[in-house]
Structure 1
């Protein structure tokens, strides 16, 4: 059957490669100018299928330009690209780009993000009563008694181009964040379908090196200033080959770029951590963006970046994302109930409802599409509010709403590509309410296409559509399933001069990268790394080795973690001033209660009780202090671990070292006051230093048990309760409250695990050694014999007990490090 005649006013759609191709900037330095290549693309667009020679030239063209940029070349906009007057052959911006476009060049390769047939089921497994109770204790996600499907995402497909600023919208539970996590590679379990960067599937660990994820809840160490935070992040994120001067220059430029210059030396603040109020919520959002931009990502994912902000701050944050998109990056944001002005900053919209994609395309075409479905947006209504209303599924009529949502998702899957093709053909004029003729033509074509869906599924014959204005038949060439993604790339939203400006600006940047225009050495390094990652495939050992080499060294990272922990501790009022005042009060009051003890029988017994008080008080302070510090920092460190910024064992090492120094200072101050006022060891300086050493060892050993508890129990309230119970049990087996030789054999194992037992025995021995205890009713007795007869302390094992304090302290810390790493990994995997 002969192919139907084509209307002379229509042109064939440009042929595009199904996969976007990322190439290095040096390939633009060829004999043929870029304008000649774009003209060749226009010839192919005008004259139909090329000859064999043209086919070969077209193949070369596909290797040099990614699909979206070639599609932009076919737009009838009168664009002109020319050479500069010099011999360097630098690529100039189009005339409509403006004089300031050169300054916005970021030197990064543009990335087209495409995804096809994404599926994912989120099912809540059933838990028994015991398992549910344990999960509640350890603050793990608790499931219902029976299995329940929470969200089913299927048939999701689309494409985002360089320069796109995408709004991912939908009601709560629609699957916005789930889709964002899948696209960013943060979630890989139970995920089906294909996600490609420039036409290549990348391993999750590779995709994360060229993209970033700005999370909904901002978390910072509030005691740091904005500049200090970025300095630590740059030292941890950037390759070790980057010099200090280069890092400082990058940080200064980033602060200016996100508009934080006036608060650069202000503390961030964190009211949730009982710290002073610092920078505003909008400034914290921009700081979160600046943190992720340090590694120069090509793709930016943001989850609810305007959550909790007023309209002005929300606009400032979204404008920042728009500027980043105009610099050639691909920006994808989930957003909830934006204002009309904020909504207008996005050029592309994705609508999700109950795991179904209802729309993915140009923002201006969205209203027209839903008008075709019978949903009319009132003239005075906020378009974003209208779209959110459409996506909502009301509980009172849930079954009908779910059925309607599924029907709309099927309509978009069958008709969406054709709709965007007609929208592009008419230059977006169907959005105007006055142009009813184009609107009628478009919807009539869609209805006819709906009755012949095989055209999208690769039918053997061309699909025929009727031009109601002129009576001519409009034919669309048959498409194979493999060409569907290419069509989506082509129809990804090039419908306005502003949109084409962003796309060609991205092209200009990519071409200029070969000449290193305005790009620093750091940017060139990161750009080269991004290009190597965009080659796709399973990461080879050489690539993984290069990725590992780009990470900061273990000794350098451990030093940075220790340094940051020291700064945070010194600026925390609870860790400094409050603890100092508490130490002074708790030392002075008991000291004057036990004032100037002698060596008679009653005072000797008071010396033992005061020794127990000293060990108990300082060890308990360390036990609870470590728990508070870890619980405060854990969410922030967990996030840094999930993004690959820190290694959990090295963080643990830095934090433990800082805490060890802190919990040597306060016991030293305490003992300095208490020892000399009480005369617990007489006037002997040697006994002072010996008892001080035992005190410090005991405090460190007891504090190590807190590391084990907080590594497993992440709930701050529950961990405090567990620590309190642990302190009570350990103190019971110290030998002061109960004679250890009278204990039942069942409790012996707890005696060996109690640092108080070893600490009190060694502390009192260092005090009573060489002393003589006198009594009015009994002959004098050696101090060590007094301890053995009265309390059952065996002074023959002094050095063994000292060794046991070392073993318990180091062993508990190593166990805590392993448990913390395991818990962090499990939390990351269960997201």
Structure 2
């Protein structure tokens, strides 16, 4: 660093270093604190982690690669041309030989400019890297290498984007988390006691009965409360290791300080806390126990803030007086547009200097020694191959998971105003309109046509109303489901059954209400058994359509995709219902599709229920071609009275088949996500 040419890039940001040799920077004084909860005595005391459960987390020689496609120019000329195997892509080196360690009782903050590799490192440490990413190296808990399942069972991960069921209250959300995340031997009373403790610890008492909120639809809690709720859900099980991805993003300075104070309290309780921080203030910087500065996928420094100040002083690049050290270090290690080459030379020089320095050598030695200690552990293979061999990753039993998911699903339904109020109003209005249009049909030649049209409108309304009611159920909650499933909270079959069973009361009550209003207004068959049979058929048709909506929702990855493919897929089933096209006229190559149409089975069943044993259809005098009885009406449509039970059984079969296919689609998504 004696050469002025080498020193120039370090001072490219225009900092005034005339006062850089002063003894201490005010913002690095670890005693500097702003009270968050009032006085120090008012700060909540988090549950202390027992010494035997504390975690030293180390990583050694972590390298992360991603494939970068470099297609040849000729591959753009013809889409059918085969790509040269040698041009499939090159590996881009994202993280370069990263080693480090985090101790219990310490808050380790990962700092760096955009593109420095902070999120990539955190994803690698938590085994959450995308499928296109290749990670090499060793990650150890107390000297024992771990895999994804073993680490998940001992750690908690607070992601940057909060994903919640917005119609639940804060307390209801935490109750659900306690039911599925705490060990199965813990009683319900103890779980609820722990929920109340966490609410107090995270200062969520004032909003515990407030809905979390849905953006644009339901006003909920504030951004700072959302962040604290994310922490609350993770600390329910008192994990020994915490990961946080930019917990202060989107918060004002006070709320950011509040959140980091929570992290600091967790560290003081004996937890190992690792987080990435975006643009921390000097107050936040003063709370960090350790810093990990990154640039260009390399470590520029790892140690205490005081050691960082000393390290950059030795490089003759000290932080100016009264300047935020976090801002200074981030800008010092940033790659400035237009000056990339000199910036990279400076960054590489700093990283090389740290790697050869005494703190850098000590970090490499400590992480390597911790990684090699597993050879002396008799149970090393348990951690390498998974937590306790084939032990289930789920804390709660299948029944406990099902009860919790069913409870949450039912709450989200009854507390959703659009679902309860708008759909109820829609059902009443449509049934009244149909009743008014077809009011008082007489059983004559015109009445036969009108009644048949009304019956098919029943089917059409039940289909489109129910398909579009559920077409976004799984696609909208897919990110929440995948996150919670990956965290070992519940199984895929539990989630699917809980969601679908919670919907059953709605999809039974609304069809019954619809038919009860318009059935007698139109003047359909008044024999008492006929009404109840029609109600059963309408309920089956509604649930068959609902099951098909579930299938579309599970196949689709987004709501817009589900809404795009839903209507075109319904048209063939509508055409093969026997009203617009006689079932005998269906082309041979489409007959298989007709067997999947609930319109066909529902239309035939309702027509049989309406016209069976009807013998008094009025005919104009002298008209020999009129429809004189119900049997003739059914013959025109090629429907047969003896098919009534077959149609009912077929509708039940379609409900089961569509839902099973939807479950398989959802299961496939979880399988792809876990790879």
Decide whether the 8 Å contact of 1:240 with 1:550 is kept in 2: no
Residue aligning to 2:477: 633
Taking structure 1 as the reference length, the TM-score comes to: 0.70
Which of 644, 651, 654 is residue 808 of structure 1 equivalent to?
A: 654
Does 1:371 pair with 2:371?
no
Cα distance in 2 for partners of 1:127, 1:649 equals 42
Mapped contact 1:151–1:354 kept (Cα < 8 A) = no
Distance 1:551 1:784 in 2: 60
Give the deviation of 1:104 after TM superposition. 5.8
Matched, 1:335 2:181: no
How many corresponding residue pairs? Answer: 612
Match of 2:612 in 1: 769
Question: Alpha-carbon deviation of 1:281?
Answer: 0.7
* Structure 1 residue 102 displacement after superposition: 9.3
Q: Does 1:783 align with 2:630?
A: yes
Work out the CA distance in 2 between the residues paired with 1:410 and 1:824: 42
Secondary structure in structure 2 of the residue aligned to 1:619: helix
Distance 1:416 1:168, change over 3 A: farther
Alignment correspondent of 1:211: 155
CA drift of 1:340 comes to: 1.1
1:737 aligned onto 2:569: no
Q: How far has the Cα of 1:733 moved from its partner? A: 1.3
Do the aligned partners of residues 733 and 400 (structure 1) sit closer, same or farther apart at CA in structure 2, a change above 3 Å counting? farther
1:595 corresponds to? 439
Deviation, structure 1 residue 709? 1.6
Question: Is 2:551 the partner of 1:609?
Answer: no
The residue aligned with 1:116 is 60
Residue 485 of structure 1, CA deviation = 4.0
Equivalent of 1:251 in 195, 202, 220: 195
Distance in 2 separating the partners of 1:620 and 1:689: 23
Cα deviation, residue 106, structure 1: 3.8
Cα distance in 2, alignment partners of residues 744 and 104 from structure 1: 70
SS at structure 2 position matched to 1:277: coil
Determine the structure 2 residue equivalent to 1:576: 420
Say yes or no: does 1:669 pair with 2:534.
no
Q: Larger radius of gyration, structure 1 or 2? A: 1
What's the offset of the Cα at 1:168?
0.7
Q: Is the 8 A contact 1:202 1:534 kept in 2?
A: no
Match of 2:669 among 823, 826, 830: 823
Match of 2:94, SS state, is: strand
Deviation at 1:543, TM superposition (A): 5.5
Q: Please tell me whether residue 710 in structure 1 is matched to residue 553 in structure 2.
A: yes
- Contact kept, 8 Å, 1:417 with 1:488, in 2: the verdict is no
Report if the CA contact (8 A) 1:111-1:330 is conserved: yes
RMSD: 2.9
The answer as to whether partners of 2:445 and 2:627 remain within 8 angstroms in 1 is no
Give the C-alpha shift of residue 639 in structure 1.
Answer: 1.1
Q: Is the contact made by 1:185 and 1:208 (CA closer than 8 Å) also made in structure 2? A: no
The separation in 2 between residues aligned to 1:542 and 1:333, in whole angstroms, is 25
Q: What secondary structure is seen at the aligned counterpart in 1 of 2:60?
A: strand
Of 180-189 and 388-397, deviating more is 180-189
Secondary structure of 1:156's match?
strand
What secondary structure is seen at the aligned counterpart in 2 of 1:301? strand
How far apart are residue 232 of structure 1 and its match?
Answer: 0.8
Native 8 Å contact 2:158 2:234 kept in 1: yes
How far off is 1:800 after superposition?
A: 1.8
| Pairs within 5 Å for 1:187-586 | 187=129, 190-271=134-215, 274-417=216-359, 485=368, 536-539=380-383, 544=388, 547-548=391-392, 551-586=395-430
What is the rounded CA distance, in whole Å, between the counterparts of 1:102 and 1:656 in structure 2? 41
CA distance in 1, matches of 2:533, 2:569: 27
Q: 1:549 to 1:115 in 2, by over 3 A?
A: closer
Distance 2:242 2:123 in 1: 12
* Conserved 8 A contact 1:608-1:764: yes
Q: Does residue 692 of the first structure (1) align with residue 541 of the second (2)?
A: no
C-alpha spacing 1:594/1:746, structure 2 compared with 1 (3 Å): same
2:551·2:662 contact (CA, 8 Å) conserved in 1?
Answer: yes
Deviates more, 1:546-555 or 1:230-239: 546-555
Aligned counterpart, 1:105: 48
Unmatched runs of 5 consecutive residues or more in structure 1:
1-96, 133-144, 422-480, 490-532
Which deviates more from structure 2 when the two are superposed, residues 699-708 or residues 213-222? 699-708
Partner of 2:104: 162
Q: Secondary structure at the match of 1:224?
A: coil
Q: Is the Cα contact below 8 Å between 2:47 and 2:238 reproduced in 1?
A: no
CA-to-partner distance for each residue in 1:596-644, whole Å, 9 max, x for gaps? Answer: 1111111111111111111111121111111122233222112111211
Please report how far the alpha carbon of residue 591 of structure 1 lies from its aligned counterpart in structure 2 after TM superposition: 1.1
- Aligned with 1:719: secondary structure? helix
Report whether the alignment pairs 1:175 with 2:117. yes
Does structure 1 conserve the Cα–Cα contact (< 8 Å) formed by 2:302 and 2:360?
Answer: no
Is 1:724–2:668 an aligned residue pair?
A: no
* Distance of aligned partners of 1:544 and 1:420 in 2 relative to their CA distance in 1, 3 Å threshold: closer
Alpha carbons 1:159, 1:488 under 8 Å: kept: no
Compared CA separation, residues 196 and 103, structure 1 to 2 (3 A): closer
Partner Cα separation in structure 1 for residue 412 and residue 527 of structure 2: 38
On the 8 A contact 2:138/2:371 being kept in 1, the answer is no
Q: Which runs of 5+ in 2 are unaligned?
A: 1-39, 77-86
Give the secondary structure class of the aligned counterpart of 2:490: coil
> Shift of the alpha carbon at 1:549?
8.3
Are the aligned partners of 2:146 and 2:384 in contact in 1 as well (CA < 8 Å)?
Answer: no
Q: Give the match's secondary structure for 1:548.
A: coil
Structure 1 CA distance for aligned equivalents of residues 351 and 113 of structure 2? 15
Q: 1: distance between equivalents of 2:454 and 2:70? A: 53
Picking from 584, 599, 602, the partner of 1:756 is 599
In structure 2, distance between residues paired with 1:757 and 1:373: 81
Q: Cα distance, 1:101 vs. partner?
A: 12
Quick one: structure 1 residues 484 and 228, their matched pair in 2 at CA, closer, same or farther if it must change by over 3 Å? closer
Q: Secondary structure at the match of 1:314?
A: helix
Post-superposition CA distance 1:498-537 (Å, at most 9, x none): xxxxxxxxxxxxxxxxxxxxxxxxxxxxxxxxxxx99643
